[in-house]
Every structure is written in structure tokens, then in C-alpha cells.
Amino acid sequence: MLPTIPFNKPYFSGSETRYIEESVRSGKISGDGLFTKLCHQFFEQQLGFQKVLLTTSCTDALEMAAILLDLQPGDEVIVPSYTFVSTPNAFVLRGAKIVFIDSTAVNPNMDASLLESLITTRTRAIVPVHYAGIACDMDAIQATADKHGIAVVEDAAQAIDSFYKNRALGTIGKLAAFSFHETKNIISGEGGMLAINDPGLMQRAEIIREKGTNRSSFFRGEVDKYGWVDLGSSFLPSDIIAAFLFAQLENLADIQARRKAIWRAYYDAFFPLAAQGIGLPMLPDYATNNGHLFYLVCRSLAERTALIEHLKALHILPVFHYLSLHTSPFYASKHDGRALPWADHYTDCLVRLPLYYELHADLQRRVIDGVLGFYHNI
């Protein structure tokens, strides 16, 4: 029997357990230890972020962003319907009303041309999600936000090492959230990061992350004691998690080169399917590809279901992705009733194929042959 090809397989560089042991031996395994600082330095010095703070998840980073924006009940936040529940939930927790925006016809990113029609006097933030690590139209989004004095919070969960017009995603909006979940390019099991691009929010971000205290200032010798000065929670991860993450960051270039090569092999193999109306990832001229995931957009829900079953019979495990949040059991009654046809289209038709560092050529060939065989026979 052929070995099963999973959708994802976490990659280990080889230094993770050694760094974890170093962290344990240091005697400082709670938050903001040696490896946390090394990770912060990597993003700030090597990737050009102004200030970053590791968090326990991307969800926590988004929740920190919502607190930093001082959202009040009734404030409105524009979020794509085709995204993970964490994106809007972070703002719902602060009492915000979610205004869902549709995807584009060419890829699942938000349709920036619709923003102006959705803005009201209550709009406080726009949250672009860089789906598959491919940049949203950030000039259009930022121009609309600036016109109305609205904050932009990038959901860059999938977007490490991806760029918009030579600017790293996560450095453009006022705030940005990243994920290091085991399904991402760079992982720590669970884990995330908040990027703070507004200098006026940097000190408060530290306070919110440290349970609402100025503990970070105390340890830098800036105050003689620390106390409760603001809202907050325990958003910082253990240094053990940071140790794992730093081993991954040291191998960022190698990991990215491998993932991009796999992505390109898929694209080249499936390009002829476009003539049959099968959708492939579309990379705008302003965006780069970080090899996060490869997807196809089938012509119908029935076709996608049949394709998934066909591949499973070949011991290949593809998966679909998000369910439109404007029709979700939790938020459907709160949605304003607008149809969001492209979000629904990706909900029904998008399928993700296996993509991970150790997907060797023979395994990828099986996936490619399985997909092409399906379309050859229908």
C-alpha cells in the first residue's frame, strides 16, 4: 500500500531541542527570556520591523491589537468574510460590530474597491487578511483608511517573508499579527507575534502584553517598581516556545526556498487546467509568493467534493478551507444581509493541496498525477 501523503507535516530544522534545553538550563523559561529576545532581534534587525512582541498565538496578537485601538461597543471593523474566525472574534470581544467585505474574483483577498461603500462614522479599523501569504492591495486599502482616519490591522498569519512592493507584509498597517502555528511556514507548535508600526502604541503594547502592568519598564530600570496601569492579559509565550521558534528562524531562507520550489512545481503542472476553468493562485504584480499554500478553485462544490474523495482514495489528503463567516451560526443574524458571492464561491470550491518541506518530488508527483488524472476523466 502506498504511504499516505498528509496535508501538512511540521518541519524540524534540527536545533529545536538543543535550544529548548539551553532555555531550560538558563533557569529562565517564562516569558521574555534569552530566546524571546533573539526572536525579537531577528524580526527587527534582519527583517526591518520597527517593534515586535511574541505572543502565545496569532489570535492573541489580534486581541492585543483590538485593545490597543481602544474599541468601544458599537464601533465597526471591516473584515473579510473568507477568513478564520480569530480575525473578527478579536474585535467582537471588545464589543465591535463586524462589517464583512467580499473577496475578489481573482483571489480570496478582500476587494478593496468595496471599502468606500462600507465605511460609516462608526468605522474604526480595516483588517486585510493576506490569504496564502499573497498581499492585499495595500495602497488602495491604506489610502481609503487614511482618508477616513481609520486604522489598518494586517492579519499576516500566513504572510511571513512575503512582500508588497518590496515592503514586508506586517510593516504597512498600524499593527499586524503573525502566526507560528504548526501549519505555517515557520512554526513553534502554537505561537504568534504582534508587529507595532505606530511608535505611539509601542509602550502600551508592552503593558497590555504584561497583564496591564509596566513590568517591562521595571526590568529595563526605567521605573523603581511596577504596578497595574492599564488593561491587559498574559499574552507572552514561554521562552521554551521562543527557543523552538528561533531554531526555525535561523533556517528561514532554506525553508522558504524549498516551499517556493514545491509551489512552483504545482503551478507549472496545473497551469493547463486554467483553460478548463479551474482557478489557480493569482499573484498580482505588486505581491510576492512565500510558498505558504497551494490551492485550486474547482468549478462547483460537487466537483471539489469529488476531487477530494478521488485523492483520498489514492491516500492523498487535500483539505478545503474557510466557511464564509457572514453565514456562520454565530454571526449570520448580525450580518446586514448583503450577498458576498466570491466569499461563498471560495467556501464551496477552493481546495488546498499538500505542501510541506519534506514533500519530496516523488510524493508531489503522486499528488499532481492524482489531480490531473481526475480532470482527465471528467
* Tens digits of residue pLDDT in 139-168: 999 999 999 999 999 999 999 999 999 999
Considering the chain, what is the average pLDDT of its residues?
A: 97
Q: How far is CA 133 from CA 73, 208, 292, in A?
A: 31, 28, 6
Whether the pLDDT of residue 25 is over 80: the answer is yes
Q: Are 322 and 342 in contact (CB under 8 A)?
A: no
Banded pLDDT at 17 (limits 50, 70, 90): very high
pLDDT tens per residue, range 45-84 = 988 899 999 999 999 999 999 999 999 999 999 999 999 9
Instruction: Write down the pLDDT at residue 219.
Output: 72
Q: Tell me where in the chain the CATH 3.90.1150.10 domain(s) lie.
A: 252-376
Banded pLDDT at 223 (limits 50, 70, 90): confident
Whether the pLDDT of residue 218 is over 80: the answer is no
Report the C-alpha gap between 203 and 201 in whole angstroms: 6
For the record, the C-alpha cell of 313 comes out as 482514495
Instruction: Write down the pLDDT at residue 284.
Output: 97
Whether the pLDDT of residue 208 is over 80: the answer is yes
- For the ranges 3-12, 209-218, 350-359, the lowest mean pLDDT is seen at 209-218
% of the chain residues with pLDDT over 70:
100
Question: How are beta strands 163-164 and 167-168 bridged, if at all?
Answer: antiparallel
Report the C-alpha gap between 375 and 349 in whole angstroms: 15
Q: Which CATH number fits domain 16-249: 3.40.50.300, 3.40.50.1370, 1.20.1260.10, 3.40.640.10?
A: 3.40.640.10
Q: Tell me where in the chain the CATH 3.40.640.10 domain(s) lie.
A: 16-249
Whether the pLDDT of residue 300 is over 80: the answer is yes
Per-residue HEC secondary structure of the chain comes to CCCCECCCCCCCCCCHHHHHHHHHHHCCCCCCCHHHHHHHHHHHHHCCCCEEEEECCHHHHHHHHHHHCCCCCCCEEEEECCCCCHHHHHHHCCCCEEEEECECCCCCCECHHHHHHHCCCCEEEECCECHHHCCCCHHHHHHHHHHHCCEEEEECCCCCCCEECCEECCCCCCEEEEECCCCCCCCCCCCEEEEECCHHHHHHHHHHHECCECHHHHHCCCCCCCCECCCCCECCCCHHHHHHHHHHHCCHHHHHHHHHHHHHHHHHHHHHHHHHCCECCCCCCCECCCCCCEEEECCCHHHHHHHHHHHHHCCECCECCCCCHHHCCCCHHHCCCCCCHHHHHHHHHEEEECCCCCCCHHHHHHHHHHHHHHHHCC
For the record, the C-alpha cell of 4 comes out as 499516505
Q: Which superfamily does CATH assign the domain made up of 252-376 to?
A: Aspartate Aminotransferase, domain 1 (3.90.1150.10)
Q: Are 367 and 307 in contact (CB under 8 A)?
A: no
